[in-house]
Chains A and B, each alone.
Chain A
């Protein structure tokens, strides 16, 4: 007599990459829509994952519905591969999909990140998945999401310009920190996750695809390859990245990469490169080991790789 067990499929506790096929299909469709309408926030159902909500579940759902057995995954948090939350997400992705992981930006096929875009220029075929806490650039001026929905439909961004204007009047400079509101494809203003202003220009005419996903707020949006992204700025007062001139990496002595400031007991500060994967390669190179270091968005003098995109600052009077 045939054992019932022999007829049954072996027990599988979870689907490949955790999400069930229906969830993956929904996410892929929403992603396609997001790519077709650059910068538009596409609502999606957003499944609960075995990771706390608000800890990257939006990015994780996108990654899980893109990952295949041949994918190579890099996960960073604040630029660091070894950050505890990055380690945890990477552990989960690889446990559920068997995908390989890397700390090398150039080697990754999918790069999931919280708050940073790496220093090395990402290329065609690579996907950057940014975790987003709040997808709504209008939140500060309008907390009701039904109202912001309408404002996006009307391209009604006057209040954002007003905020910038008020900052100039009061403080003589823009005071948006990270997540600087930016116009995508001349149509939708996005909140580019809270990446520092240093990283915002990297989205402009990028060769790679950027997907931004907020799991808790259930919205995802995209910056497709080779799409215009411009930070909001008045013609006579240009947008500025963070001023880190003179900040020198304490190990490699490199300048003009985004730095972590490390307070010292004597009241001074030391600095280290925020992008840990890049720093690792630089260190290896200094030790005389072979390391394939890619081109960076900012060169050693701090020049951005797209000539003329960033303008010199205007001195506030």
Chain B
């Protein structure tokens, strides 16, 4: 087989080698360490890649030297080739094993505020003692309740989603929005006929068209770039938006992923995934509370509050131009936005030459001091046979 080998080909191979030589060499131990000690980073990558695979995400982070856009692309490119073996049963709110659940709408809510794991009220002070090898007791070293809780593994829960007694206080909580619906403050959830899972619109398998189906919008937000969603969401919150969001409920949970056995039809667990979701409400529409929603794989609170706010914005009749559905969904796509941004590193000298040609003509026409003859020469016929 003949392969056109050129200087450029050697150059890119050497360049890649150098990149890998300048960073730590990924090892089995490193992958495990990333997976266990950086779960929020792993979650962010999994969420944006829309692939729940903590081990592969940790590998992607290690392989890309921590360049998150590269890590997300690695996972996405892997994901795009994987066959769809089965569709999971819907993950319903009542089946979530909730670890953290807070509401800003009310002081107390049915089931109670559950702070769960959070840095929200920590003092952001670098613990430099660690650098000196001094081991001082940290809040994290204290047992949580009766037992240490691991982010990466969960105590067993029975099939009803209830925790066994010695574990975390309560597995499931009612929804704040349920109370609001019962109280007549919010429209009831519209009734949907059950659908074949394979028929649900899938933003990774369908062409993107606007207005997008609700499914596409929520899927796109779920895999959106955290920073991108934050920037647009923050613009809304800061004053370019039409609504003031109230965090009705924010949840971090473990979801049981249940799949029907293809032969027996019996439901079994294919594993558990960290999931998070946010609901924000606004009283802007005086007919009742309106709700913005976002959910993603992994735990990523800042992204979801921003995304749920954008969900509300996108529903407005005339949102700010930066908050229309097309604007938000196109511009918060991590792989596409980062890829296009870095593509400007590629040579563009042909298109540049084409523009330069125009610029020179304009300069010759308007700004040159040359006499008419020179100008005429500049504009004499070229490259064309006269008809």
Contact = CB atoms under 8 A, between A and B. Distances in A.
A164 interface: no
B365 A171 contact: yes
A78 B350 contact: yes
B6 A18 contact: no
Nearest to A242: B357
A312 interface: yes
A311 B350 contact: no
A158 interface: no
Given A47-B80, A81-B6, A303-B383, A55 B343 contact: yes
Contact of B206 (A45, A82, A94): A45
Given A53-B339, A242-B353, A77 B346 contact: yes
B350 A178 contact: yes
Interface stretch (A83-91, A221-229, A288-296): A83-91
Interface residues of A, number: 84
A89 B358 CA distance: 31
Contacts of A197: 354
Contacts of A261: 353, 356
B207 A44 contact: yes
A146 B79 contact: no
B336 A53 contact: yes
B379 A144 contact: no
B319 to A, nearest CB: 12
Given A54-B339, A312-B386, A87 B381 contact: no
A45 B201 CA distance: 11
A52 B351 contact: no
A302 B335 contact: no
Contacts of B350: 78-79, 115-116, 178, 194-196, 258, 260, 274
A177 B354 contact: yes
A315 interface: yes
Nearest to B381: A312
A241 B73 CA distance: 39
Nearest to B204: A45
A298 interface: yes
A144 B319 CA distance: 14
B211 interface: yes
A175 B340 contact: no
A133 B387 CA distance: 35
